Amino acid sequence: MSIKDILTFEELSPKQIIRILDLADKYKEEKKKRVFRKELSSRILALIFQKSSTRTRISFEIAMKELGGEVLSFSANDLQLSRGETIEDSARVFSRYVDIVMLRVYKHKDIIKFANASSIPVINGLSDLYHPCQTLADLQTIREIKGHLKKLKIAWIGDGNNVANSLILACSKMDIQMAIACPKTHQPSQEVISYAKSKKAKILITSNSKDAAHDADVVITDTFVSMGQEKNKKERLKIFLPKYQVNQKLMTLAKKDAIFMHCLPAHRGEEVTSEVLDGPQSAVWEEAENRLHSQKALLSLLLSNRL
């Protein structure tokens, strides 16, 4: 049975994940040769942004256009949503006009409401609880550099946020060990952790960054102050710094060939030092590029009912 929506990452089976990654790799190689298959000609993608974006907007727009489709992009203020129209009614209208919708929202419950009322595929481009599109790019990047995904160890350092939640779901499906170092007050979703444990996933939650980074194949972090949390910046930085900063000293605890990843934007000198971000172990620019290729594969597979 094909999947209609991608909202968390839980929807995908290991085989479906590999199918997306294989096609993403193929698109990446074709792009290098300037080969573009217009397989989504006459199809329309709508992008809805409650939260502003750089990588999400650019990557989705380019992905759809390289597949031959069209893109319509809206901020919340462009729509009647800002004037009281319900999310469900908006979803029903979009379902009559376009072929697929990507939403970047503050509250995950909003995207669930939209998807439940929509008759067309809905992709979560980011919510407060999950970021599945980032996870696809992360897996593509790790597999590209390491050659495989099995038996690897990922160390997540910092806030147990939306990106961490989707990554935990992915690791629980792909036999990847994950060690998460975070304050007790900023752990990943307990629902996600319970899901991972139910799948007998190798997930460690600790408050010690050194324990998490020890012998890791991949070290990942994210901003300590996400969009919408700016008013609490000083308080949050006191919680995370310096204990959860990824610096060169912490990287030496990982494997010698370990890579560093960050979904960006990065706040240099906070969650990561410039020495690491710009260093030889950094894979952040490949990771950013792979948002394009993995989302391109996702659009193609969802709209052709091949997922």
pLDDT at 44: 98
Alpha helices of the chain — where are they, by DSSP H?
A: 14-32, 55-66, 87-97, 108-117, 132-146, 162-174, 190-198, 209-213, 233-240, 248-251, 274-277, 284-303
CATH class of 14-131+290-303: alpha beta
Nearest C-alpha neighbor of 226 from the set 288, 270, 258, 195: 270
Coil, strand or helix: which one is 106? coil
Token pair recorded at residue 172:
């629980």
Q: What does the pLDDT look like over 135-156, one tens digit per residue? A: 999 999 999 999 999 999 999 9
| Radius of gyration in angstroms for the set of CA atoms belonging to the chain, rounded to a whole number | 19
Burial string for 229-255 (b: 16+ CB within 10 Å, else e) reads eeeeeeebeeebeeebbbeeebbebbb
> At 52, is the pLDDT very low, low, confident or very high (cuts 50, 70, 90)?
confident
- Count how many Cα atoms sit within 13 Å of the Cα of residue 17 in the half-sphere of its side chain: 26
**156 beta partners:** 180, 220
Number of Cα atoms under 13 Å in the Cβ half of residue 229: 13
pLDDT of residue 1: 57
Provide the CATH number for the domain formed by 134-287 in this structure.
3.40.50.1370
- Distances from the Cα of 170 to the Cα of 18, 67, 199, angstroms: 11, 26, 11
Domain assignments of the chain as residue spans, ordered by start: 14-131+290-303, 134-287
Residue 226: Cβ-neighbour burial (10 angstroms; 0-12, 13-18, 19+): middle
CA gap 130, 198 in Å, rounded:
19
- 233-244 average pLDDT score: 94
Whole-angstrom distance, CA of residue 109 vs CA of residue 113:
6
Average pLDDT over all residues of the chain: 95
Under the banding of pLDDT at 50, 70 and 90, the label for residue 82 is low
Q: Whole-model pTM?
A: 0.96
For residues 189 and 201, give the distance between their C-alpha atoms in angstroms, rounded to a whole number: 15
Per-residue model confidence (pLDDT) at position 232: 77
Q: How confident is the model at residue 218 (pLDDT cuts 50, 70, 90)?
A: very high
Catalytic residues: 104, 131, 134, 222, 263, 291
Q: What percent of the chain has pLDDT over 70?
A: 98
Measured distance CA(80)–CA(60) in Å, rounded: 23
- The pLDDT, as a whole number, for residue 227 is 65
